[in-house]
Every structure is written in C-alpha cells, then in structure tokens.
Structure 1
Amino acid sequence: MTRSLAIVENWPPELQEQLVAWRRHLHLNPELSFEEHHTAAYVEKNLREIGGLEISRPTPTSVVARLIGGKPGKTLALRADMDALPIHEENEFEFASAVPGVMHACGHDGHTSILLGVVSLLAGQRGQLHGEIRFIFQHAEELPPGGAAELVAAGVLDGVDYIVGEHLASQLPLGQIGVAYGEMMASPDNFTIVVKGYGGHGGFPHKSVDPIAIGAQIVSNLQHIASRNTNPLDRLVVSITQFTSGSSHNVIPDTATLKGTVRSFDPQVRKDAQQQLRRIVEGITNAHGAEYELDYLLGYDPVVNDHTLTRLAEEAAVELVGRDNVVQTPPGMSGEDFSAYQQRVPGTFINIGAGNPDKGILYPHHHPRFTFDEAALATGVQLFVRTAEKLLEWDY
C-alpha cells in the first residue's frame, strides 16, 4: 500500500466547504422520523450528481447507494441517520431550523453530510476496490420501532459482511474519537401508565378514588425495581419522566397518566423489570380500588460492538488523531437503533468528538441549543474512509 485514501495531506478546502453546505441545508430543513421526504430526495440528488453508484430507495424516506468494486471481495456497509427531533430550536444561526418545533438536535444533519463526503471521496475509486461499499442513509432513528429494523427487513444488509456507524458527540471535545468494546448503549424501553380512579371534590377525598395519590405510590414503588429487586451489579434504570393529572385546585380527577423509561443491557434483566413494573402497578391500583392501563413499548436492543471491528476502527482513529486523542467510551444508558444491524452482521459504532466550549458548543444532545463544531465533519469522513481501507482490499 503506497498511499492512504483517508489521510489527506492537503484536505481539499472545497470538500470542507461542501460538507458544511450539506449540513447547513439539512439543518435548515429538518424532518421528523418517517417524514424525511425532502431529506431523502436531497440525498439522492447529490448521490446522482456524484455518480458511479447504484442507488435505490428501499423505503419512501431512505436511500441506499452501492459502490461496487471492479474485483470480488467483502462488502462493508456505512450508515448515517437523517431524521430530526420534535424540538423548537433556540439557536440563532442563519441556518437555524426553518420548521417550527422541529430541529436537528442530535447531529443527524452532520452524519448525513459526513456520509455524502465519504461517497464523494470514494466514488471514483471503484476500479481499485475489491468488493463493495454500501452507503445507508437511514430514516427514523429517533422513533421506535426505528428505521434500521425496517431497512434490515427490506434486505439492505443482504450480502453485507460488516457495518460501521458514527455519531457526532458534543460531550467529547473536537479532535477526540471515542471507541467502545462490547456493550455501548442500552435498550431504551418506554411505558405509559393510566391510573383510573374516581373523581370528586377536593374537600371530600374519602368519596373519591384519588388517582394522583395512587400514582404517587406507583412512582415511589417503581424505584424498588432497580434499588431492591435487581442485582446491584446489573445495570438498570427506571425513570418516571412525566406525571400529568387534574385541571383545578379543588377537583380530584378521574385519571392520572405516568410516563417513563426502562433501560438495561441484559435481556433477562430487561424482561424481569417489565414484569415487576406490571406487578407493582397492578398491586397498588388493586389495593386502592382503582384500575389501570399499561402500555409497555419495547425499544431497540442494546448496541454491542464487535471487538475485531472496533480494534480496526481504533487503529484507524489512532492514525488520524493520535493515541492520546482516542478514548474508551464507557457504556451509557442512551439507545440507538444501530443495534438492529448488529443483530445481523458484525458492527461497531464510533463517537466523533464535536464539542468546543470556546465556541459555546457545550449543550447536550436533544437540547434546543445543541450544535457541533463543523470541523468534526472532516474527522468523520476520514475515519469512515480509513476504516473502510482497513476492512477492504484496494489496488493502488
């Protein structure tokens, strides 16, 4: 191997400008999960302008491009997600969201731009490639059941040997890359509990079945699932994140609604927590003469990275940013539907540092003032390409 496709001594300024232009267009025009019609059309248009690809639309709001090499070999898939969140943006950029109540608050605009940049660098290398690179521009990462599972069902991984994904991370400083061996993200299950009591006058509570008082007991007792019913060495989070009821200071309402999330890594812990939650809700409501409805939505499976792929990605990262700037990412209780791909083929998911407090870039993901340093786009492109180079054979 006489040269590297990834490490560009003189990074083309026009490519950096193009990455920023793609990102800002997408940020200005965000679309929610399963509604990414403009985004998918924009991606397809740019892919066709790049040329040299086989392009398909496996779902109405996703795009897949295949770069098929001139010689047989392995197939690598690279994935970017494209959807935005139902958040009203508070940034005052010139390219701030033009859609009220919708915002790219998780970096998916950057992920899409990065993958377009990878395509633009590699599209002309088809003759030197042994095998295939499959570029997956995925819809609906933010909303279960998620776009990844839908794309897997549509066959986008047929014939794929490996898959690699990246995520811009505001919690990591610009210039760092985070890798995780094995468990990386948890299974994010959600639930809604409706406590059905019997309303009445606030001055005569004995004539009512108070769903608020019952709901408060449910909140308190659900904390026992993690603290008293689960092995302390097993990672489990049970959080109530919403409690709504009532409309007046002197009226006991008929119902109370509680919403929350259960997050874990172990399948048995996940199953046990769901059963314990139902048992607690049923026991408390029965004890107080109330009824309940429980809607428990299983989210994504945990993201568990393949060790061999992660090692190769780490080697690529070290070559790009140096040993001191490659960090080990500890497991976290967030979720990602990249796990749907990992259920089918070996995969690894890498964090690209994109925070920069000196520029005021310090807000967390899903915050109305979230953003990232656009210099991280080049790092994302080069890491993808360098990792592809390590996984596939090229003629130079």
Structure 2
Amino acid sequence: MLATTLKPLPIEASRIRLAVRSLQPQLVAWRRNLHQRPELAFNETLTSAFIVQKLTEWGIEYQAEVAGTGVVATIQGGRPGQVFAIRADMDALPIQEANEVPYKSQHEGKMHACGHDGHVAIALGAAYYLSQRAEQLPGIIKFIFQPAEEGPGGAKPMIEAGALKNPDVDAIIGLHLWNNMPLGSIGVRSGALMAAVELFDLTIQGKGGHGALPHQTVDSIVVASQIVTALQTIVARNVDPVKSAVVTVASFHAGKANNVIADSAHLTGTIRYFDPTFTDFFETRFHQIVGGICQAHGATYHLDYHKLYPPVINDEAIANLVRSVAEDVLETPLGVVPECQTMGGEDMSFFLQEVPGCYFFLGSANVDKGLAYPHHHPRFDFDETALGMGVEMFIRCVERFFNIEL
C-alpha cells in the first residue's frame, strides 16, 4: 500500500522509507495495544506507562507526570544546536466502540475515536528512529506526549509545567490523522488551520404559570426562542462576509408539561472562528443580545461563557517546510491539500502561540476497506498504512529543519 501512495525516491533518499517499512508491524502493534486500553483526559496512566516503557527500552531520556499524565522525551544530538519538538496527544473519548475488530476497546464506554492512539504510535516510531541516529543530530529533539486534548485541554498545563523549556523549543510540529481526507494526502497551510473553540451555557429565567394565563407569566421559551434567532445575526450582520465564523445553539431545554409555561430555559452551544481578533468579540455580543432581549421581556439570564481553545495558527516558514517535505514524499493527485481548513478545534494552538510551528492533517481514510467513518463516531477507524507515512513525515521534517540526512 505504501508504494501506491508515496513517490518513488532515489536510492540515497529511500533509506528512511525502508526503515519505516520494517517498523510498520511494530507501529500497528503499538497502536492496537493503545486502542484496546483507551483512557480519558488526565487519566492516561496506562498510556503514559506504555510510552515510558518504550522510551526506557530505547535509552531515551524522559520526564513523566508532566501536568499529571504527560511525558516529555528528549533526544540529545551529537553536537549543540536548535531544539525541534514533536507533539502527540494521547487521550480517548467517552464513546462505546461499535467496531468488531480484534483490537476493540476493552474499556467500557471509552474509545480512541479520533486517532490519538495512532498519534502516539507515530511519535514513538519517529523517536525510535531518531534515537538510533542521535549522533547525527546537530541539536535536540523533544517529544511531547500530551493528555486531555479532547477537553479540558492538556497543552496549556504542559506549557505551564515547562514542556517547552529546559531546553527551550525553537520550533514545533504535530499531525492529526484525518478521515476527512483519503490515505496518501496531507493537508497543510500557513495561517489558520483550525478554529477557536468557545462554549456557552445560558439560562433564561422568566416567570412560570398556567398555559391558559400567559399574561401572568414571563415565558422563558418565547424569550429563549428569540435569542436563538438573534444569535444568528452575529455572524450574518456583524462578521465581515469574507471571514468565517459559526454560532451553533446545540441544545434547548425547557418545560415538562403541556399546560405549564416554563419559568426557565437552558441553552448550550459553541462558537467557532479563525481570526484571533475575534477573541473577545463574540462574548461581548452574546451579553448585548441576550441582555437586550431579556430586558425587553422582563426576564433575567445567567451566561457561562468559556473560551476553550484559540485558533490553530501555523507559522509560515514551518508550514512551508512541512509542505515541501510532503510534496517530495507524496504521489499526486492525492498529494498536498494546500488550503485545508476545519472549524474543528485543537489545543495544539497553545503550543503555536508560544513557538513557531505547524500542525497538519495526514489523510487516513480508505473507503474500499470501510475505514471512512468520521471522527468521534463509534465506528471510527483508519487505514494503519498512515502510521508509517506519519513517521516518515516527522523524520523528513527533522532532516529539513536541521538541513541534514539521517
């Protein structure tokens, strides 16, 4: 399968690919081991122990229990130089797996439904390869195995715990296996790749009463319904049409009986955008719109507005480095998807706020094998050929960053 999606390389440049092919069975075994033992945010103890076991076997220095369950590994090069980091998230989701495969989740109600098991396997594969050639490195490689990407977010706690320090990281990359693109493709762009994630939890407090006597009430459902409609005007009338943003009301709960006007209504949802200048804008408009409508109807409100992750903004120089590697490695027409974007969010954004870097998508879907279910679906799975591709991408990005051959 690798040969059908990767470019043939000159003999002198094919050594990495041959080494990765020989490593492929191990990559699959590691990924499946992790897939069977998924763990939720900040509880990735088995996952961390597995990572530490492999690092110890290979003689790679590491620090465990970073921000709880995180692991930071360091490969010292043969001579001093810059510090290049590779990040992999490792948490699973609270989903019951519906796949009937030998490596099905053994943890009830938990599943690697987003590919993080693959991310860990890919980073371990790159760490193994690079550790065998440490003397050739004119610098240092850091591997950051991060908990809790699915929420509440492990990147920021790891940064606060010093994951990017001692030695200080000069550049960072990471990848996401991506079932929205076919195997053998890579999505990379400079600038905004993924959106900011903001969440709201809104309660409208009215005055309940009899359904036949509405004049005695403040109908929370009527007030909340107007708010749902009005919130859509934020994007439609306050955001420049050439920019992208989304306001989604995802749940609306009110009332229990058909002859009772509900005294309160509860709305939840999410806001997404790419432009960092919107950081405070949506929260401000929420209060203005909700407050105005509530005042007009004699209702009150409580808004819990949470800025979860900022947008993922790739550095132009590092994105160009990743793109150039992908163009050298991948066959066309699959190849590189240059303007790939999604309103999905990722806390890789916090790392990219601290140091120049690039996050990119590695196509992992294979429709012919039935491996094309979307992320967070109970039947999510991916073509494991992508594991070797990810390892090769990481290694070649290291080569190009340091301008060496490994």
TM-score (norm 1): 0.94
SS at match of 2:74: strand
C-alpha contact 1:4 1:386 (8 A) present in aligned 2: no
Query: Residue 282 of structure 1 aligns to which amino acid in structure 2?
Result: G
Give the SS at the match of 2:57. helix
For residues 261-307 of structure 1, what are the alpha-carbon distances to aligned partners after superposition, in whole Å with 9 as ceiling and x for unaligned?
11112233342222111111111111112111000001211111111
Which consecutive unaligned segments of at least 5 residues does structure 1 have? none
1:156 aligns with 2:163: yes
Pair 1:365–1:338, CA change in 2 (3 A): same
Residue 32 of structure 1 corresponds to 40
Give the whole-Å Cα distance in 1 for the aligned partners of 2:15 and 2:199: 40
Name the structure 1 match of 2:254: 245
Q: Please, what TM-score do these two structures have when normalized by structure 2?
A: 0.92
Which residue identity lines up with residue 155 of structure 2 in the other structure?
A
Question: Secondary structure at the residue paired with 2:265?
Answer: strand
Cα distance in 1, alignment partners of residues 215 and 274 from structure 2: 44
2:301 paired with 1:292 = yes
Task: Give the alignment of 1:311-330 within 5 angstroms.
Answer: 311-324=320-333, 325-330=335-340
* Count of residue pairs the alignment pairs up: 394
CA contact (8 A) 1:73 1:393 kept: no
Check conservation: 1:53, 1:123, Cα contact below 8 A: no
Q: Which ranges in structure 2 are unaligned for 5 or more consecutive residues?
A: 1-10
Match of 1:193 in 2: 202
Report the Cα offset of residue 202 of structure 1. Answer: 2.9
Could you tell me whether the CA contact under 8 Å between 1:129 and 1:395 is conserved in 2?
no
- Match 1:360 to one of 342, 359, 370: 370
Kept in 1, the 8 Å contact 2:83–2:169? The answer is yes
* Aligned-partner Cα distance in 2 for 1:281–1:98: 45
- Give the whole-Å Cα distance in 2 for the aligned partners of 1:164 and 1:40: 20
Q: Partners of 2:45 and 2:66 in 1: how far apart?
A: 13
What are the superposed Cα offsets for residues 48-84 of structure 1, whole Å, 9 maximum, x if unpaired? Answer: 1222334443222110100001201111000000011
The aligned runs of 1:1-396 (5 Å cut-off) are 3-4=12-13, 7-9=16-18, 11-13=20-22, 15-144=23-152, 146-158=153-165, 159-324=168-333, 325-394=335-404
In the superposition, relative to structure 1, how do residues 5 and 278 fare at CA in structure 2: closer, same or farther (>3 Å)? Answer: farther
Higher mean alpha-carbon deviation, 45-54 vs 74-83, is at 45-54
> Higher mean Cα deviation, 211-220 or 241-250?
241-250
* CA separation of 1:376 and 1:59: change in aligned 2, threshold 3 A: same
Q: Which amino acid aligns with 1:51?
A: G
User: 1-side partners of 2:209 and 2:40: how far apart?
Assistant: 40
In 1: Cα distance, 2:405 partner to 2:179 partner: 37
The alpha carbon displacement at 1:126 in A equals 1.4
Aligned residue type for 1:37: T
Structure 1 pair 395/335, CA: closer, same or farther in 2 (3 Å)? closer
Match of 2:6 in 1: none
Q: Distance in 2 between matches of 1:141 and 1:249?
A: 42
Distance 2:238 2:208 in 1: 33
Farther-moved stretch of structure 1 (31-40 vs 200-209): 200-209
The code of the aligned residue for 1:354 comes to S
Give me the identity figure in percent: 46
Instruction: After superposing the two structures, state which structure 1 stretch, 262-271 or 368-377, moved more.
Output: 262-271
Distance in 2 of aligned mates of 1:178 and 1:45: 32
Report the residue type matching 1:109 in the other structure.
D
